[in-house]
Structure 1
Amino acid sequence: MHRTLPFQHLVLHALVVVIVMIAEAIGILKIPIGFGAVILLPILYAFAMGIAINPAIFKATGKLLKAPGTKLAGTMITIAIMPFIAKFGTTVGPKIAEVAAAGPALILQELGNLGTIFIAFPLAVFVFGMGREAIGASYSIDREPNLAVIADKYGLNSPEGAGAMGVYATGTLIGTFVFALLPPLIHSLGLFDVRALAMSCGVGSGSMLAACTGGLVGVVPDQKEAILALAAASNILTYATGLYAAVFLALPLTEWLYKTSRPGTASGDLVKGAAK
């Protein structure tokens, strides 16, 4: 039986089309700031407009975007990003020699996932006084695979799940802006090879990957193919080796740090059971 889309879903799709058309009409903007330039991409404008019409922020849009529509938007993120990831995957093959030349650097960069623990965990526990939410919030940058790990081990209704979801939402909202601005600025300092910066784009987030590579290509257009290939390979490795690093290194380490800094706290299994 043929089913028509609910009105809320039609409204959502219409708003998305309008946002995309406006963002593409603005195009890429380069803002010089002394020693470098900030590259503003259409995806940034789209994110900004999406935030602006969020019913939780701008109450007036709540008359158009109700719960069914916003729920669909969250589900569509993963689906919509799949063709984008597939496209980046096809850039690895033609540049496989340059990817292979990066060798150990491309693999060892996954140890950088542990950096979130040593920077974010002390702030979460000792500065902001977070409880077990600090485990989910600081053991990774909490993209989709990391959320799956937390959901499986603790459940998303647990304190760990709340911490992971909080970082995921924050990263979705402002992570793209940060990843669009930092790479061109860091490149202008001349401290890192553009290949290293390209690898840093692959943190496991499609929107961050697009913003990061777009910014780098904007300042080094002659190395576009190499940047895209290395960033894509890095992103793929993040989903593969990065997931194992999270399961066997990052999460156990964060658990141990929390139990050490907060002795006598309940174990993850007890918290998960209580949440249920």
Structure 2
Amino acid sequence: MKISNSIFFNWRLHVLVLVLACIAEWIGIAKFDIGIGTMILLPLLYAFVFSIFFNPNINSSLGQVVGKNGNMVAGQWILICLMPFIAKFAVGIGPKINEIVAAGPALIFQEIGNVATVLFALPIAVLVFGMGRESIGATHSIAREPNIALIADRFGLKTPEGIGVMGVYVMGTLFGAIYFSIMAGVVASWGVFDVRALAMACGVGSGSMMGACSAALSEILPEHKEDIVAFAASSNLLTYATGLFVSIFVALPFAEWLFKVLSKLRKTQSATPIVTTEVGTEDNEEVSVSLVQLISGLVFICLLLFIVVDC
């Protein structure tokens, strides 16, 4: 199904997104001392919460602002908005290529976390909760922006795998930054790890989580603020560089293979069928944009980013 220009460039949807984003940025970063650490709330969290109220499935009256095609259009805009991000991420890797090579096996070991999500979470999702292929998208990584692009390219966001990765992405955005900001304070209070190691641990491949973690550490150890920011940012960039490739060539294929094994194991142990998300006919319909719409959307997003960064 081709999206018409009137639906794709629905001005109400774009104005709503812009207004909610501006309100979230106006509120800014909120910090709370909770004794065991510093809890940090980021603008991305507010934007998610505000957007929930305009979901037609949650609030039918406010959902009329977005329209019945809002979900279909938003899914395409997610992919377009990810393109400049992935390009920026790729360009950022280039100047750091020597450091990436010099780091050697250390970076590969750092990416064990991507495989660990499969080892620990996938068996629970399939054997305990009876999840279907949603578990592949949900557990193959920590499900940040590059992983959404990977799943969208491989399966599509309207598939069970796409639903799984988006679900974890939303949960990570809502609670990930809060969790990291609290854990940073707790672990730093132990006095066991070097401040540089703590800063590098903040770089898990998520800008919001890295920001919350490094900000919390900077509050606790202000004398090392510059080192914390530098090491956290470098680690995050290197994790982006290696994490996507580990997801493509190791974690995702391993998750698909393990899902097949666990599915057979569950069938032999229990008569309870594996639960697979039923996507409605309308949602399951293949949606695409024309080349002109794609280029126009990219130009619009790039101009908007240029204005925001320049300001």
> In the alignment, which residue of structure 1 is the partner of 2:20?
19
Root mean square deviation of aligned Cα: 3.3
- One-letter amino acid of the structure 1 residue matched with residue 244 of structure 2: Y
Paired with 1:194 and 1:52, the residues of 2 have a C-alpha distance of: 37
Q: 1:88 to 1:148 in 2, by over 3 A?
A: closer
Q: Which residue of 2 aligns with 1:168?
A: 165
**1:75-114 mapped onto 2 (5 Å cutoff):** 75-92=76-93, 99=100, 102-114=103-115
TM-score by length of 1: 0.75
Change (3 A) 1:199 1:107: farther
Whether the 8 Å CA contact 1:92–1:229 is kept in 2: the answer is no
Q: Residue 27 and residue 140 in structure 1: after superposition, are their counterparts in 2 closer, same or farther (change >3 A)?
A: closer
Pick aligned residue for 2:254 from 227, 249, 255: 249
Please state if 1:238 is matched with 2:275.
no
| C-alpha distance after superposition, 1:172-219 (max 9, x if no partner) | 32211222112222222126623442332x1xxxxxx22112213323
Pairwise CA distance, 1:95: 5.7
Greater mean deviation of Cα atoms: 174-183 or 86-95: 86-95
Residues 250 and 110 (structure 1), Cα distance of their counterparts in 2 relative to 1, 3 Å cut: farther
Q: Which amino acid letter does the alignment assign opposite residue 261 of structure 2? A: W
Change (3 A) 1:130 1:256: same
**Counterpart Cα distance in 2 of 1:19 and 1:240:** 34
TM-score by length of 2: 0.68
Counterpart residue type for residue 65 of structure 1: V
Structure 1 residues 77 and 131, CA gap change in structure 2 (3 angstroms): closer
Counting only pairs closer than 5 Å after superposition, residues 1-276 of structure 1 correspond to structure 2 as 5-6=6-7, 9-92=10-93, 99=100, 102-131=103-132, 134-135=135-136, 137-141=138-142, 143-144=147-148, 145-149=150-154, 151=155, 161-162=159-160, 164-188=161-185, 189-190=187-188, 193-200=197-204, 202=205, 209-219=206-216, 220=218, 221-222=225-226, 223-263=228-268
SS in 1 for 2:10: helix
Q: 1:226 is matched by which residue type in structure 2?
A: F
1:126 positional shift: 3.3
State the number of aligned residues: 250
Report the Cα distance in structure 2 between the residues aligned to 1:230 and 1:251, rounded to whole angstroms.
28
Secondary structure at 2:202 match in 1: helix
**Structure 1 vs Structure 2: percent identity of aligned residues?**
35
Partner of 1:272: none
Match of 1:64, SS?
A: helix
Unaligned runs of 5+ in 1: 203-208, 267-274
